[in-house]
Amino acid sequence: MAVARSHPALTVGKYAALLGYLTFALFPLYWLFKIAITPDQLIFTEGTNLWPSALTIDNFRTVLFQTDFLAYFGNSLFVSLGTAAVTTVIAAGAGYAFSRFDFGGKRLIIAVMLVTQMFPLLMIIAPIYKIVASLGMLNSLTSLIVVYTAFNIPFATFLMQSFFDGIPKDLEEAAMMDGCSRFQALRKVIFPLTLPGLGATLGFVFTAAWSELLFALMLISKNEAMTFPVGLLTFVSKFSVDWGQMMAAGVLALIPSCLFFIFIQRYLVQGLTSGAVKG
Amino acid sequence: MARIELRDVVKRYGAVEVLRDINLDIQDGEFIVLVGPSGCGKSTLLRMIAGLEPITEGDFTIDGVRMNDVRPRDRDIAMVFQSYALYPHMDVARNMGFSMEIRKDPVQDRIDRVRGAADTLGLSALTKRLPKALSGGQRQRVAMGRAIIRDPRAFLFDEPLSNLDAALRVEMRLEIARLHQKLGATMVYVTHDQVEALTLADRIVVLNGGDIQQVGSPLELYERPANKFVAQFIGSPTMNVLPVTGGDHGVTVANGVTLALPHLPDTLQATELGIRPEHLDVVPAGAGEIAGVADVVEHLGSDTNIYANIEGLGSLMIRKHGNIPIRSGDRLGLRFQTENAHIFAADGTALRRATGSADKAESGHAPTRSLDSDPLAVLLEDPQ
């Protein structure tokens, strides 16, 4: 990949492009943070200044101690972790089956799983609402876990399958010759080698569930069951939007995602490459 | 210690038959090599013995017990894979002791055996390393260590040397031969490399297109191939094959020269003549049965390979011991060592006197293991 010696202008251009992209991608995050630490009275007067003339942490204090933010946060954590765990377990099993076994209908199942990914979510919101409502599961976090899991399984399965495909079949066969049952081979040999893949899948699903708004908005209306993205909307009242608190809540919401990615990034980088490229 | 028998074994994938009517007796302690071109079914056969592929039809027994439906782990067979298949997350010692770990053998026992195997294979200094920190040859040794530590009934090798470079391959081949002498265990070895087959095997099984072509000792296959396929597959360099017209007491090659073949019957049916490069003599131009012009001459020091163009016949290869002072473009005469010639009928079957060889009937019959067939003293030299 790396060219041994490239023209200086090319190098500069390359870094300029990278810088441009990073600025573009990170600026909203910066703006989020800036508004969160800007005192309320300055938000509109200094609207376009890159840095406010005074700083405050009042927004954070209010969000943490005077709103239901912590409850939303806890709900989101529960839903995201639950979804990530359930999805990863199912996807790992399905991915393993797709990677290792030949069975009737395998191609059909893969095709159907692909089809589920082709529809815009908006199209199925109403039916999903109807189903969940008739099951009496509106306003429950479990229903969110079930719905998110259903939506994430296809992609997660393909991801896991590519990780399993990257692990030579010989290893399992060697383990079986060494006296393992198939399950023992899976547990003692394949599982440890799949950890990067599991990490990548967990991270992907966690993030997807953490930031999901549409279904949470439709299926949850009670304050105590709101997830964090829905809760953010409570900062929008009839007559005003409490920008400072909303942004402070947003900054806080980034923390778990960041922690999670710091925790798994070692596996993620290794995982995404080792899964995608064989050998 | 195991005697392995295959009776009328068939393997099908859907409608595709990859192995047909495989009948094979492998004696206790015998070193059997399955050899053939890629796609001939040799690896499938090995994997069926291992239990990694189900057997479609027929019986497979070890020491008289039917094994078709026994799980790999209960067959007590060890296998060395082409890719080595070392567990990447375990160090060398744990890789080697893994089977004992699974069997829950006493820890001290396991440590002792691993140490013993590591000593035998020259791996003692490496037991704490992960496979990725080992060279190809060392990985191969670990894979062998993992197999021998279990003291299994039989060993299976699936092209174990094909990922190694030439020098290492020769070295590891010797180690495998030593291992067999030392353990005296039944071994089944798959390779597409006929030099490995000839040097290691007590008996070679030549497979092609899902059929056993011939089973026999390396010398039998070399001297009395059952058909043209075996004749051309075994022996290096490859046997020359010329189209001929069969006559009463000999054959006539395409440029009109008749060769008397008194030792061979059925010359009338012959359509092709096979002569190995080492069974052609170079004589001065004008002498010998046919004349030719040296095209390419390879001086290997110990041998000289001459590719000669024969008018009306094409190219023939001649191999002579020592350094023969012939240069490209020289005219030369060739003499056939007719006593070593082979003739083939139109269907490729070798034609020969009934006495002394019934190779066709030999498939499935195991001759007693000849202890004097030192695997490393077979006449073929390594081409490398």
Q: What's domain B255-354's superfamily in CATH?
A: Nucleic acid-binding proteins (2.40.50.140)
Angle at A125 between CA A119 and CA A130, to 5 degrees: 130
Cα gap A138→A160, rounded to integer Å:
31
Residue span(s) of chain B under CATH 3.40.50.300 come to 4-223
Query: Which residues of chain B have a CB within 8 Å of the CB of A197?
Result: none
Helix H or strand E encompassing B294: strand B290-299
Output the pLDDT for position B80: 93
Domains of chain A listed by start with CATH number: 8-56 (no CATH), 69-242+251-276 (1.10.3720.10)
Across the interface, do B102 and A179 touch by the CB < 8 Å criterion? yes
Contact A191/B at CB under 8 A: no
Chain A residue with Cα closest to B146: A178
Q: Is the pLDDT of residue B363 over 80?
A: no
Cα gap B248→B246, rounded to integer Å:
7
Distance in Å, alpha carbon of B154 to nearest chain A alpha carbon: 12
Cα gap B79→B69, rounded to integer Å:
18
Contact A174/B at CB under 8 A: yes
The average pLDDT across B141-170 equals 90
Query: Which residues of chain A have a CB within 8 Å of the CB of B79?
Result: 173-174, 177
Q: What tokens does A267 get?
A: 């596996």
Cα gap B136→B162, rounded to integer Å:
11
Q: B357 and B216 in contact (C-beta within 8 Å)?
A: no
Chain B residue with Cα closest to A179: B73
Taking only the tens place, the pLDDT of each residue in B81-112 is 988 899 988 999 999 999 999 999 999 999 99
Chain A residue with Cα closest to B99: A178
Contact A195/B at CB under 8 A: no
- Which conformational region is residue B132 in: left (phi greater than 0), alpha (psi within -120 to 50 degrees), or beta? alpha
Average pLDDT, chain A: 86
Output the pLDDT for position B57: 93
The CATH class of B4-223 is: alpha beta
Across the interface, do B99 and A179 touch by the CB < 8 Å criterion? yes
Sign of the torsion formed by the C-alpha atoms of B264, B265, B267 and B273: negative
Chain B residue with Cα closest to A176: B73
Output the pLDDT for position A269: 64
Across the interface, do A174 and B89 touch by the CB < 8 Å criterion? no
Instruction: Indicate which of B81, B91, B104, B139 best probes the interface with A, i.e. most A CBs within 10 Å of its own CB.
Output: B81
The residue behind tokens 């026992």 is: B109
Contact B43/A at CB under 8 A: no
Q: Is the pLDDT of residue B256 over 90?
A: no
B214: exposed, middle or buried (Cβ count in 10 Å: 0-12, 13-18, 19+): buried
Count of beta carbons in the 10 Å neighbourhood of residue A257: 15
Contact A104/B at CB under 8 A: no
Q: What tokens does A153 get?
A: 């399984």
Distance in Å, alpha carbon of B75 to nearest chain A alpha carbon: 8
Output the pLDDT for position A272: 52
Across the interface, do A180 and B102 touch by the CB < 8 Å criterion? yes
Output the pLDDT for position B375: 39
DSSP assignment letter at A186: I
Query: Which residues of chain B have a CB within 8 Å of the CB of A174?
Result: 79, 81, 85-87, 146
Distance in Å, alpha carbon of A107 to nearest chain B alpha carbon: 17
Distance in Å, alpha carbon of B77 to nearest chain A alpha carbon: 7
Instruction: Indicate which of A177, A186, A190, A274 best probes the interface with B, i.e. most B CBs within 10 Å of its own CB.
Output: A177
- Give, in order, the Cα–Cα distances in Å from A48 to each of A42, B121, B218, B276: 11, 73, 88, 91
Cα gap B274→A94, rounded to integer Å:
56
The average pLDDT across B330-335 equals 91
Q: Is the pLDDT of residue B221 over 90?
A: yes
Q: Is the pLDDT of residue B225 over 90?
A: yes
Contact partners, residue A225, CB within 8 Å, separation at least 6 = A75, A139, A140, A141
Average pLDDT, chain B: 87
Query: Which residues of chain B have a CB within 8 Å of the CB of A189?
Result: 87
Pairing of strands B203-208, B57-62: unpaired
Output the pLDDT for position B1: 67
Cα gap B99→A45, rounded to integer Å:
74
What are residue B157's DSSP bridge partners? B80, B189
Query: Which residues of chain B have a CB within 8 Å of the CB of A173?
Result: 50, 52, 72, 79, 81, 85
Q: A188 and B94 in contact (C-beta within 8 Å)?
A: no
Distance in Å, alpha carbon of B86 to nearest chain A alpha carbon: 7
Contact partners, residue A86, CB within 8 Å, separation at least 6 = A145, A149
Q: Does the interface predicted TM-score (ipTM) exceed 0.85?
A: no
Taking only the tens place, the pLDDT of each residue in B156-211 is 999 999 888 888 889 889 989 998 998 899 999 999 888 899 999 999 999 999 99
Residue among B347, B339, B337 at smallest CA distance from B283 = B337
Residue among B85, B98, B15 at smallest CA distance from B47 = B85
Residue span(s) of chain B under CATH 2.40.50.140 come to 255-354
Count of beta carbons in the 10 Å neighbourhood of residue A179: 22
Across the interface, do A179 and B83 touch by the CB < 8 Å criterion? no
Contact A47/B at CB under 8 A: no
Across the interface, do A174 and B102 touch by the CB < 8 Å criterion? no
Q: Which residues of chain A have pLDDT under 70?
A: 1-5, 266-279
Output the pLDDT for position B377: 40
Chain B residue with Cα closest to A170: B85
Q: pLDDT: is B351 or B217 the higher one?
A: B217
| Rg, chain A, Cα only | 23
* Nearest Cβ partner for B50 among A168, A177, A189: A177
Across the interface, do B99 and A178 touch by the CB < 8 Å criterion? yes
Output the pLDDT for position A4: 58
